[in-house]
């Protein structure tokens, strides 16, 4: 009944009710003040003795309310805008009483005028706030809005509560904050609770969504909180600060809304892939390249597997610091050991494996940016081939239980130095697997990982945020796509399936045209594509031509023979590789080219020992 009345009453009637209420309170304030002062002075109560002051105050209140439009102000906006206007109206009432003193036979003392003004101010504010509470209660009981719990009662949380106070579709029920000094307080009309009460608040208030309104704590801390809340039974979202939203440039900084499933041409596989925690429980695990896109996600997912220890190796101090800090936030009780150094340092790798009694090695360290490796072939070979040789060989000597190499679809009939080095790294691992008595060597091959460093998605995002153009090498180019979490789950599953020398490949569906990805990202960001069919579009797609070493279409298999695994989405490739003697000769030749700093010779050797595409690009020297 109340909900129906509140939603059907007209604006004019609402304004008339508020105006009548405000003017009625002038009379209440005068009579109440007179009664209070008479009682204090032990004098008879004479309510109409100063009728001229009441009339003056009434007229002043009416004039100021109409001038300021206080009766037209929505209740939802009163807390943010109306209180100052209320003070002005109360001041106008007091001023009218003061001016009336010049013509009245019995003047009002200053203290009496002050009491009348203060009483009117308190009554006006109290009545508006009570009405606001009543309206909010009516809306909360009668409408089907989304009910949210705000995690964080700081500046961003208060701004969010104030914004939602004027929204009828979303209803904030309470604050949650880790700060004990804020708990039990009422801020912006909402009670602040402790995080331990979240489950109770969600159940009692029918909360649909928890909003993390504390951008200052950083993404990693928010991620830790989201993990804690994942079993609560409602959606959890993070909110950037309003200042950041403005500082990022408003409309020009709209972020692309990317439909990952649409880009990949299939449903996400995260829910289809089985759990992998059993294979890593109570194991000491070494992750190389731990600060990179794949390495860091490996570390995040491993924290959910209850390992005994995670050891991180990375040659980037900043990347190593960032992943270490994040892991400490996500899993504060998990032993995490950061090792700053290169996988090419045999003595370092040997010492780490021995000192930390490593059971499993996940080798993700690699240079993978195709044009950069094309221009730095020597360092690409050193890191991707000899670095893999060092880590794999030392793992075998140390008796590591499992070694998993993270590879790439660019290793299949490569047209680039980077792809050739990854294929050579695969052959290094395959060769060691044939002679290993204790360590099970395997490798995982997959396509482009969305959002990883050097991938096309972040590049397109940056180009769109600048207003374009978006650059695509060739309109015919296609790529396989997967999310980083899917890629990492595949790597971890490979570790549990491995028998020795395996090449695991994920069924990634059909390759996706990059031109379609660019178009979808532009339109997903709210822009239109400018082309010959739409010359008035906002962002243009430019074709730049294939770069040295790039393919039109990537492949995942060298041969056609595929074997099954315990999961239908994961296949095992049966591929040939170099013999032990051939591998030793190839590695010796590559070491010689590194010593001589001869990138062209390096290219020739890779052509000789790797099944490359006839279009394998020549190296590009840094002098070019």
Cβ atoms of residues 198 and 233 within 8 Å: no
170: three-class secondary structure by DSSP: strand
Asked if residue 469 has a cis previous peptide bond (ω within 30° of 0), the answer is yes
Cβ atoms of residues 347 and 322 within 8 Å: no
CA atoms within 13 A on the CB side of 135: 20
Neighbours of 406 (CB within 10 A): 29
| Active-site entry in 368, 389, 410, 551 | 410
Distances (CA, A) of 452 to 289, 292, 484: 13, 8, 7
**Is 615 annotated in the active site?**
no
Detail the DSSP E strand segments found in 448-592: 448-450, 470-472, 478-479, 481-483, 502-506, 512-513, 529-530, 539-543, 562-564, 570-573
Planar angle of CA 133, 134, 137, nearest 5 degrees: 85
Residue 109 CB burial class (10 angstroms; 0-12, 13-18, ≥19): exposed
Tokens 């190296």 identify what position? Answer: 619
How far apart are the C-alpha atoms of 212 and 447, rounded to whole Å? 34
Query: In the structure encoding, which two tokens stand for residue 316, read together?
Result: 């980037």
Query: In the structure encoding, which two tokens stand for residue 189, read together?
Result: 């009309």
Tokens 């010593």 identify what position? Answer: 595
Query: In the structure encoding, which two tokens stand for residue 135, read together?
Result: 């309206």
Q: Give the single-character DSSP code of 333.
A: T
DSSP string, 130-166: HHHHHHHHHHHHHS-PEEEEEE--SHHHHHHHHHHTT
Asked whether the CA dihedral 561, 503, 490, 554 is positive or negative, the reply is negative
Q: Which residues are catalytic?
A: 410
């Amino acid at each position: 009944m109340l909900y129906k009345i509140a939603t059907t009453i007209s604006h004019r009637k609402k304004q008339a009710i508020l105006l009548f209420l405000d003017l009625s309170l002038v009379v209440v304030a005068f009579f109440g003040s007179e009664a209070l002062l008479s009682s204090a002075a032990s004098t008879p109560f004479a309510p109409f003795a100063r009728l001229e002051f009441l009339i003056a105050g009434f007229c002043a209140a009416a004039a100021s309310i109409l001038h300021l439009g206080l009766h037209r102000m929505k209740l939802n906006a009163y807390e943010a805008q109306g209180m100052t206007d209320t003070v002005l109206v109360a001041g106008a009432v007091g001023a009218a009483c003061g001016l009336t003193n010049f013509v009245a036979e019995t003047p009002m003392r200053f203290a009496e005028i002050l009491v009348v003004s203060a009483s009117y101010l308190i009554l006006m504010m109290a009545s508006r706030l009570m009405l606001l509470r009543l309206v909010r209660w009516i809306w909360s009981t009668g409408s089907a809005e989304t009910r949210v719990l705000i995690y964080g009662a700081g500046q961003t949380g208060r701004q969010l509560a104030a914004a939602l106070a004027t929204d009828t579709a979303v209803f904030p029920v309470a604050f949650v904050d880790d700060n004990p000094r804020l708990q039990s307080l009422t801020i912006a009309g909402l009670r602040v609770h402790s995080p331990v009460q979240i489950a109770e608040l969600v159940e009692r208030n029918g909360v649909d969504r928890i909003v993390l309104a504390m951008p200052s704590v950083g993404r990693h801390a928010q991620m830790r909180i989201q993990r804690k809340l994942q079993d609560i039974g409602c959606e959890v979202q993070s909110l950037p600060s309003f200042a950041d939203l403005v500082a990022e440039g408003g409309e020009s900084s709209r972020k692309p809304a990317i439909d990952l499933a649409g880009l990949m041409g299939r449903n996400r596989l995260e829910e289809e892939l089985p759990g992998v925690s059993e294979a890593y429980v109570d194991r000491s695990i070494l992750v190389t390249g731990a600060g990179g896109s794949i390495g860091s996600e490996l570390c995040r997912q491993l924290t959910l597997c209850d390992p005994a220890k995670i050891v991180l190796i990375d040659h980037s101090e900043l990347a190593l610091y960032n992943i270490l800090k994040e892991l400490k936030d996500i899993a504060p009780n998990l032993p995490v050991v950061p090792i700053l150094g290169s996988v090419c340092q045999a003595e370092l790798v040997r010492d780490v494996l021995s000192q930390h009694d490593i059971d499993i090695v996940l080798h993700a360290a690699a240079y993978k940016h195709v044009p950069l490796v094309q221009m730095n072939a020597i360092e690409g070979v050193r890191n991707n081939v000899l670095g893999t040789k060092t880590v794999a060989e030392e793992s075998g000597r140390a008796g590591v239980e499992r070694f998993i190499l993270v590879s790439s679809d660019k290793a299949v009939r490569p047209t680039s130095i980077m792809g050739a080095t990854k294929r050579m790294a695969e052959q290094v691992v395959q060769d060691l697997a044939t002679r290993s008595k204790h360590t099970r060597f395997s490798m995982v091959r997959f396509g482009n990982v969305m959002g990883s460093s050097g991938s096309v998605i972040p590049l397109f995002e940056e180009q769109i945020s600048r207003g374009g153009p978006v650059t695509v090498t060739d309109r015919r180019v296609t790529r396989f796509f997967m999310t980083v979490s899917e890629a990492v789950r595949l790597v971890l599953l490979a570790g549990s399936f491995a028998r020795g020398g395996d090449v695991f490949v994920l069924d990634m569906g059909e390759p996706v045209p990059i031109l379609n990805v660019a178009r979808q990202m532009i339109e997903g960001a709210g822009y239109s594509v400018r082309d010959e069919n739409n010359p008035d579009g906002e962002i243009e797609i430019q074709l730049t031509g294939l770069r040295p070493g790039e393919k039109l279409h990537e492949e995942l298999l060298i041969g056609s023979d595929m074997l099954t695994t315990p999961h239908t989405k994961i296949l095992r490739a049966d591929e040939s590789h170099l013999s032990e003697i051939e591998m030793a000769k190839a590695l010796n030749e590559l070491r010689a080219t590194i010593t001589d700093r001869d990138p062209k010779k390096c290219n020739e050797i890779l052509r000789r020992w790797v099944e490359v595409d006839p279009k394998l690009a020549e190296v590009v020297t840094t002098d070019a």
